[in-house]
C-alpha cells in the first residue's frame, strides 16, 4: 500500500465555497487550480476548514470528486474522511479511494471520548476495511480526546497508516513520535503558528489554513523548510505570523472566506452554526493580508 505522490510541504486545508446554499462548483474548481498554479504541494478537501460537518454525504463525495478532477494528478489529494462513527469513517474512506484521492485524513472520534484502546481499534477497523493511505488527525481542541505518543506508535504499525497531522501545538511530540514511529512516518503540523518549529524538529509540512489565502507565500515558506534554509523560512514566517493568527479571530473558516472574497476568489457564505466574521475581524484580516505581501 503506497501513494504515488510525496505528501509534504504546504498542504492546503481547502475551504468549500458556497453560493445560495449550495456548493459553488465553478469557484471551487477555479480555486483548486489557483492553489496548484501558486505552488501548493497538496490539497485537503472536506476537512474541518472545508465545513465538512455541514456537508451532506452527496456533497462530501462531490467536493472530493471535484478536487481530484481539478487537480488532475498534479499534486496529492488527501480527502477528509473523519467521523465519530467508525462505520461512517469507513464509508467516507471508501468514497475517497473510489474517487481517486491519494490518501484519507481521519480525525480522532469526537464527542464520544473513546479510550486509547478505542482510538486504536477505530483506526484498525478502518485500516482493515479500506486499502487507502491514512493520515491520522490528532486535534484534542476539537475532538476532546488526545492520541498519546505510545498510541500513535501503535497506529503507525497499521499497514495503511502513513503519517499524522498534529494540531496540538506541542513541538516536543515530534521527537517522541520519531522515536516511536520512525523516519518514514509523515509528521505534518496542523497548526500554522508552530509549523516552523515543527519542521525544525523533524516535521515534513503543514496542513494549513493560511495557505488558502496566500498560497505563493506558504509554498515558498515550506520550500525553504524542506531545503533546510531556516533563516529564509523564518523571514517568511515573520510576514505570515499575523495571517496565521488573525484567520482565527472568529470561528474558522469565516475569516478565510472573507479574505478570499477580498481577493475575488469566492463569496463569504458559510453554513450555520458558522456565521460571517465581524467588522473588526475584517479590518485585522485585511491588514494581515497586506503584511503577508498579498496584493488586495
- Interval 94-152: pLDDT, tens: 999 999 999 999 999 999 999 999 999 999 999 999 999 999 999 999 999 999 999 99
pLDDT of residue 14: 98
Whole-model pTM: value is 0.97
Q: Reply yes or no on whether the pLDDT at 90 is more than 90.
A: yes
Q: Are the beta carbons of 131 and 101 closer than 8 angstroms?
A: no
Q: For 281-289, what is the mean pLDDT?
A: 98
Is residue 178 in some structural domain? Answer: yes
Is residue 284 in some structural domain? Answer: no
Is residue 50 in some structural domain? Answer: yes
Domain limits for position 19: 9-237
d(CA 86, CA 143): 14
Is residue 125 in some structural domain? Answer: yes
Is residue 265 in some structural domain? Answer: no
**CATH number of the domain bearing residue 167:** 3.20.20.70
Domain count, the chain: 1
Is residue 122 in some structural domain? Answer: yes
Q: Which residues are identified as catalytic?
A: 137, 165
Q: Reply yes or no on whether the pLDDT at 2 is more than 60.
A: no
Confidence of residue 4 (pLDDT cuts 50, 70, 90): low
Is residue 289 in some structural domain? Answer: no
Is residue 148 in some structural domain? Answer: yes
Average pLDDT, the chain: 97
Confidence of residue 1 (pLDDT cuts 50, 70, 90): low
Q: For 212-223, what is the mean pLDDT?
A: 98
Helices (H), the chain: 25-37, 57-71, 86-99, 116-129, 140-143, 149-155, 172-181, 195-200, 215-226, 230-246, 254-262, 279-291
Q: Are the beta carbons of 267 and 19 closer than 8 angstroms?
A: yes
Q: For 187-209, what is the mean pLDDT?
A: 98
Q: Are the beta carbons of 239 and 42 closer than 8 angstroms?
A: no
Amino acid at each position: 500500500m503506497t501513494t504515488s505522490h510525496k505528501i509534504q510541504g504546504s498542504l492546503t486545508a481547502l475551504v468549500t465555497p458556497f453560493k445560495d446554499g449550495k456548493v459553488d462548483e465553478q469557484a471551487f474548481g477555479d480555486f483548486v487550480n489557483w492553489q496548484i498554479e501558486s505552488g501548493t504541494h497538496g490539497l485537503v478537501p472536506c476537512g474541518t476548514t472545508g465545513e465538512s460537518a455541514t456537508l451532506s454525504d452527496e456533497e462530501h463525495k462531490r467536493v472530493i470528486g471535484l478536487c481530484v478532477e481539478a487537480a488532475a494528478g498534479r499534486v496529492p489529494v488527501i480527502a477528509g474522511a473523519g467521523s465519530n462513527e467508525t462505520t461512517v469513517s469507513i464509508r467516507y474512506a471508501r468514497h475517497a479511494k473510489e474517487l481517486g484521492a491519494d490518501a484519507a485524513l481521519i480525525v480522532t472520534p469526537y464527542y464520544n471520548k473513546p479510550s486509547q484502546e478505542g482510538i486504536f481499534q477505530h483506526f484498525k477497523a478502518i485500516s482493515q476495511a479500506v486499502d487507502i493511505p491514512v493520515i491520522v488527525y490528532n486535534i484534542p481542541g476539537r475532538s476532546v480526546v488526545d492520541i498519546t505518543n505510545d498510541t500513535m506508535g501503535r497506529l503507525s504499525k497499521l499497514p495503511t497508516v502513513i503519517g499524522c497531522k498534529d494540531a496540538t501545538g506541542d513541538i516536543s511530540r515530534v521527537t517522541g513520535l520519531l522515536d516511536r514511529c520512525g523516519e518514514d512516518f509523515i509528521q505534518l503540523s496542523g497548526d500554522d503558528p508552530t509549523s516552523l518549529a515543527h519542521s525544525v524538529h523533524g516535521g515534513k509540512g503543514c496542513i494549513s489554513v493560511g495557505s488558502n489565502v496566500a498560497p505563493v507565500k506558504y509554498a515558498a515558506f515550506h520550500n525553504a523548510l524542506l531545503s533546510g534554509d531556516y533563516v529564509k523560512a523564518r523571514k517568511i514566517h515573520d510576514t505570515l505570523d499575523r495571517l496565521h493568527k488573525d484567520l482565527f479571530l472568529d470561528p474558522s473558516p469565516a475569516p478565510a472566506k472573507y479574505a478570499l472574497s477580498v481577493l475575488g476568489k469566492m463569496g463569504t457564505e458559510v453554513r450555520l452554526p458558522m456565521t460571517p466574521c465581524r467588522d473588526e475581524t475584517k479590518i485585522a484580516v485585511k491588514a494581515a493580508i497586506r503584511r503577508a505581501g498579498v496584493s488586495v
